[in-house]
Amino acid sequence: MKLHKVLLSIVASTCLSFSFVAQAKITVFAAASMTNVLQEIKSEYVKANPKNEMDFSFASSSVLARQISQGAPAQVFISANQKWMDFLEEKGAIETKSRRDLVGNRLVMVAPKESKIENVDVLNSQWHSHLANTYLAVGDPDHVPAGKYAKEAFIFLKQWGDLETKLARANNVRAALALVEQGESPLGVVYATDAAASQKVKTVAIFPENSHPAIEYPVAIVKGQDNEESRQFLAYLQSESAVKIFQKFGFSIK
Protein backbone atom coordinates (compact mmCIF):
# COMPACT_ATOMS: atom_id res chain seq x y z
CA MET A 1 0.00 0.00 0.00
CA LYS A 2 2.84 2.36 0.90
CA LEU A 3 4.60 1.54 -2.38
CA HIS A 4 1.36 2.34 -4.24
CA LYS A 5 1.22 5.80 -2.59
CA VAL A 6 4.86 6.46 -3.40
CA LEU A 7 4.26 5.60 -7.05
CA LEU A 8 1.21 7.85 -7.18
CA SER A 9 3.26 10.67 -5.67
CA ILE A 10 5.99 10.23 -8.28
CA VAL A 11 3.43 10.18 -11.12
CA ALA A 12 1.72 13.30 -9.79
CA SER A 13 5.04 15.08 -9.44
CA THR A 14 6.03 14.10 -12.98
CA CYS A 15 2.70 15.32 -14.37
CA LEU A 16 3.13 18.65 -12.62
CA SER A 17 6.61 18.92 -14.09
CA PHE A 18 5.37 18.25 -17.64
CA SER A 19 2.50 20.69 -17.07
CA PHE A 20 4.97 23.36 -16.05
CA VAL A 21 7.08 22.80 -19.15
CA ALA A 22 4.01 22.86 -21.35
CA GLN A 23 3.00 26.22 -19.91
CA ALA A 24 6.43 27.90 -19.96
CA LYS A 25 5.77 31.55 -20.74
CA ILE A 26 8.05 34.34 -21.90
CA THR A 27 6.94 37.91 -21.27
CA VAL A 28 8.65 40.42 -23.55
CA PHE A 29 8.54 44.16 -22.91
CA ALA A 30 9.25 45.94 -26.21
CA ALA A 31 9.20 49.40 -27.75
CA ALA A 32 5.90 50.25 -29.47
CA SER A 33 7.62 50.45 -32.86
CA MET A 34 8.32 46.70 -32.56
CA THR A 35 4.62 45.75 -32.43
CA ASN A 36 4.10 44.37 -35.94
CA VAL A 37 7.45 42.69 -36.43
CA LEU A 38 7.41 40.92 -33.06
CA GLN A 39 3.91 39.63 -33.61
CA GLU A 40 5.12 37.90 -36.76
CA ILE A 41 8.27 36.67 -35.05
CA LYS A 42 6.10 35.27 -32.26
CA SER A 43 4.03 33.35 -34.79
CA GLU A 44 7.13 31.70 -36.25
CA TYR A 45 8.80 31.16 -32.88
CA VAL A 46 5.81 29.39 -31.37
CA LYS A 47 5.63 27.08 -34.38
CA ALA A 48 9.22 26.03 -33.70
CA ASN A 49 8.73 25.96 -29.91
CA PRO A 50 5.12 24.83 -29.31
CA LYS A 51 5.68 24.31 -25.56
CA ASN A 52 6.47 27.99 -25.05
CA GLU A 53 3.83 30.67 -24.67
CA MET A 54 4.64 34.32 -25.23
CA ASP A 55 3.14 37.59 -24.05
CA PHE A 56 4.10 41.08 -25.17
CA SER A 57 3.78 44.45 -23.53
CA PHE A 58 4.27 47.26 -26.06
CA ALA A 59 4.72 50.88 -24.96
CA SER A 60 7.28 53.66 -24.91
CA SER A 61 10.71 52.34 -23.91
CA SER A 62 10.77 54.80 -21.00
CA VAL A 63 7.50 53.50 -19.57
CA LEU A 64 8.59 49.87 -19.88
CA ALA A 65 12.05 50.50 -18.43
CA ARG A 66 10.57 52.20 -15.38
CA GLN A 67 8.11 49.32 -14.93
CA ILE A 68 10.93 46.79 -15.09
CA SER A 69 12.98 48.79 -12.58
CA GLN A 70 10.01 48.58 -10.23
CA GLY A 71 9.75 44.80 -10.56
CA ALA A 72 7.35 44.27 -13.48
CA PRO A 73 7.29 40.58 -14.52
CA ALA A 74 9.26 40.70 -17.77
CA GLN A 75 11.85 38.22 -18.99
CA VAL A 76 13.20 40.14 -22.00
CA PHE A 77 13.35 43.87 -22.76
CA ILE A 78 13.82 45.49 -26.19
CA SER A 79 14.38 49.25 -26.11
CA ALA A 80 14.16 51.73 -28.98
CA ASN A 81 17.31 53.49 -27.79
CA GLN A 82 20.39 52.89 -25.68
CA LYS A 83 19.42 55.35 -22.95
CA TRP A 84 16.68 53.27 -21.37
CA MET A 85 18.72 50.09 -21.51
CA ASP A 86 21.56 52.03 -19.87
CA PHE A 87 19.04 53.16 -17.23
CA LEU A 88 18.23 49.54 -16.37
CA GLU A 89 21.85 48.44 -16.45
CA GLU A 90 22.80 51.19 -14.02
CA LYS A 91 20.07 49.97 -11.69
CA GLY A 92 21.27 46.37 -11.97
CA ALA A 93 17.94 45.38 -13.51
CA ILE A 94 19.24 43.43 -16.54
CA GLU A 95 21.64 40.55 -17.09
CA THR A 96 24.49 42.68 -18.47
CA LYS A 97 26.20 39.85 -20.34
CA SER A 98 23.03 39.19 -22.33
CA ARG A 99 22.82 42.75 -23.67
CA ARG A 100 23.38 43.24 -27.38
CA ASP A 101 22.29 45.52 -30.23
CA LEU A 102 19.54 43.88 -32.25
CA VAL A 103 18.43 46.08 -35.18
CA GLY A 104 18.45 49.65 -36.45
CA ASN A 105 15.89 52.05 -37.96
CA ARG A 106 15.48 55.37 -39.80
CA LEU A 107 13.63 58.55 -38.85
CA VAL A 108 11.04 59.82 -41.36
CA MET A 109 8.27 62.37 -41.72
CA VAL A 110 4.82 61.16 -42.74
CA ALA A 111 1.57 62.73 -43.95
CA PRO A 112 -1.93 61.27 -44.34
CA LYS A 113 -2.23 59.12 -47.46
CA GLU A 114 -4.68 61.55 -49.08
CA SER A 115 -2.69 64.67 -48.19
CA LYS A 116 -1.65 67.04 -50.95
CA ILE A 117 1.79 67.20 -49.34
CA GLU A 118 4.06 64.95 -51.39
CA ASN A 119 7.61 65.92 -50.47
CA VAL A 120 9.08 67.87 -47.58
CA ASP A 121 12.58 69.30 -47.58
CA VAL A 122 13.43 69.04 -43.89
CA LEU A 123 16.64 70.99 -44.48
CA ASN A 124 14.57 74.07 -45.29
CA SER A 125 12.30 75.47 -42.57
CA GLN A 126 9.76 76.62 -45.16
CA TRP A 127 7.97 73.30 -44.64
CA HIS A 128 6.74 74.68 -41.26
CA SER A 129 4.03 76.49 -43.25
CA HIS A 130 2.27 73.12 -43.68
CA LEU A 131 1.52 73.16 -39.95
CA ALA A 132 -0.40 76.46 -40.07
CA ASN A 133 -2.75 76.30 -37.05
CA THR A 134 -2.08 72.60 -36.42
CA TYR A 135 0.65 70.58 -34.76
CA LEU A 136 3.44 68.19 -35.70
CA ALA A 137 2.80 64.71 -34.26
CA VAL A 138 5.81 63.26 -32.40
CA GLY A 139 6.52 60.98 -29.49
CA ASP A 140 6.98 63.18 -26.44
CA PRO A 141 10.65 64.30 -26.64
CA ASP A 142 10.85 64.29 -22.85
CA HIS A 143 10.73 60.50 -22.65
CA VAL A 144 9.82 58.76 -25.94
CA PRO A 145 12.90 57.66 -27.97
CA ALA A 146 11.37 58.57 -31.36
CA GLY A 147 10.59 62.03 -29.99
CA LYS A 148 14.10 62.39 -28.65
CA TYR A 149 15.56 61.51 -32.03
CA ALA A 150 13.21 64.05 -33.65
CA LYS A 151 14.26 66.76 -31.20
CA GLU A 152 17.95 66.05 -31.82
CA ALA A 153 17.38 66.16 -35.57
CA PHE A 154 15.58 69.50 -35.41
CA ILE A 155 18.25 70.95 -33.12
CA PHE A 156 20.87 69.84 -35.66
CA LEU A 157 18.79 71.44 -38.44
CA LYS A 158 18.43 74.64 -36.34
CA GLN A 159 14.61 74.41 -36.33
CA TRP A 160 13.85 73.28 -32.79
CA GLY A 161 13.24 76.78 -31.43
CA ASP A 162 10.41 77.35 -33.92
CA LEU A 163 8.91 73.88 -33.55
CA GLU A 164 9.03 73.31 -29.80
CA THR A 165 5.61 74.87 -29.25
CA LYS A 166 4.11 73.27 -32.37
CA LEU A 167 4.22 69.67 -31.21
CA ALA A 168 1.42 67.20 -30.54
CA ARG A 169 3.29 65.12 -27.95
CA ALA A 170 2.20 61.48 -27.97
CA ASN A 171 2.85 58.81 -25.33
CA ASN A 172 4.68 56.59 -27.84
CA VAL A 173 5.59 56.54 -31.51
CA ARG A 174 2.54 54.50 -32.52
CA ALA A 175 0.28 57.08 -30.86
CA ALA A 176 2.05 59.79 -32.90
CA LEU A 177 1.48 57.73 -36.05
CA ALA A 178 -2.22 57.40 -35.16
CA LEU A 179 -2.59 61.20 -34.98
CA VAL A 180 -1.47 61.42 -38.61
CA GLU A 181 -3.51 58.41 -39.70
CA GLN A 182 -6.64 60.01 -38.23
CA GLY A 183 -5.91 63.39 -39.80
CA GLU A 184 -5.45 65.06 -36.42
CA SER A 185 -1.99 66.22 -37.51
CA PRO A 186 -0.94 67.05 -41.08
CA LEU A 187 2.56 65.75 -40.48
CA GLY A 188 4.33 63.49 -38.01
CA VAL A 189 7.79 62.14 -37.24
CA VAL A 190 8.03 58.38 -36.78
CA TYR A 191 10.31 55.50 -37.64
CA ALA A 192 10.53 54.25 -41.21
CA THR A 193 9.16 50.89 -40.07
CA ASP A 194 6.05 52.54 -38.56
CA ALA A 195 5.39 54.34 -41.83
CA ALA A 196 5.81 51.09 -43.77
CA ALA A 197 3.39 49.27 -41.45
CA SER A 198 0.58 51.77 -42.02
CA GLN A 199 -1.77 51.87 -45.00
CA LYS A 200 -2.99 55.33 -44.01
CA VAL A 201 0.18 57.43 -44.27
CA LYS A 202 2.91 58.13 -46.78
CA THR A 203 6.55 59.06 -46.23
CA VAL A 204 7.27 62.62 -47.36
CA ALA A 205 10.80 63.02 -45.99
CA ILE A 206 13.71 60.99 -44.63
CA PHE A 207 15.91 62.69 -42.06
CA PRO A 208 19.66 62.77 -42.76
CA GLU A 209 21.34 60.04 -40.73
CA ASN A 210 23.89 62.53 -39.40
CA SER A 211 21.13 64.74 -37.96
CA HIS A 212 20.59 62.46 -34.96
CA PRO A 213 22.30 59.58 -33.12
CA ALA A 214 22.04 56.17 -34.73
CA ILE A 215 18.67 54.53 -34.02
CA GLU A 216 19.52 51.27 -32.30
CA TYR A 217 17.38 48.68 -30.52
CA PRO A 218 19.29 46.96 -27.72
CA VAL A 219 17.87 43.76 -26.18
CA ALA A 220 18.66 42.10 -22.85
CA ILE A 221 17.37 39.52 -20.41
CA VAL A 222 15.87 41.03 -17.26
CA LYS A 223 17.78 40.44 -14.02
CA GLY A 224 16.91 37.10 -12.42
CA GLN A 225 15.28 35.80 -15.63
CA ASP A 226 18.36 34.19 -17.18
CA ASN A 227 16.75 30.83 -17.88
CA GLU A 228 16.50 28.42 -20.81
CA GLU A 229 13.35 30.02 -22.23
CA SER A 230 14.78 33.57 -22.17
CA ARG A 231 18.10 32.50 -23.66
CA GLN A 232 16.33 30.48 -26.33
CA PHE A 233 14.19 33.43 -27.41
CA LEU A 234 17.16 35.81 -27.37
CA ALA A 235 19.03 33.41 -29.64
CA TYR A 236 16.01 33.15 -31.94
CA LEU A 237 15.88 36.94 -32.33
CA GLN A 238 19.32 36.72 -33.95
CA SER A 239 18.55 33.66 -36.05
CA GLU A 240 18.32 33.68 -39.84
CA SER A 241 14.53 33.28 -39.62
CA ALA A 242 14.12 36.33 -37.38
CA VAL A 243 16.60 38.40 -39.40
CA LYS A 244 14.50 37.86 -42.53
CA ILE A 245 11.38 39.05 -40.70
CA PHE A 246 13.14 42.13 -39.32
CA GLN A 247 14.35 43.00 -42.82
CA LYS A 248 10.88 42.40 -44.25
CA PHE A 249 9.52 45.07 -41.89
CA GLY A 250 12.29 47.53 -42.80
CA PHE A 251 14.68 47.19 -39.87
CA SER A 252 18.40 47.15 -40.54
CA ILE A 253 20.46 44.38 -38.97
CA LYS A 254 23.22 45.27 -36.54
Binding residues for molybdate: 33, 61, 146, 173, 191
Give the orientation angle of helix 173-181 with respect to helix 145-156, to 10 degrees. 80
CB-CB contact of 115 with 180 (8 Å): no
How far apart are alpha carbons 247 and 147 in whole angstroms? Answer: 23
CA angle 206, 213, 60 (to 5 degrees): 85
Q: Which element (helix H / strand E) includes 55? A: strand 52-59
| DSSP annotation of 251 | P
Question: 106: which strand partners?
Answer: none
Annotated binding site: 33, 61, 146, 173, 191
**Pairing mode, if any, of strands 107-112 and 100-105?**
unpaired
CA atoms lying within 13 Å on the CB side of residue 87: 19
Cβ neighbours of residue 188 closer than 8 Å, sequence gap 6 or more: 109, 110, 111, 136, 137, 138, 168, 176, 177, 179, 180, 201
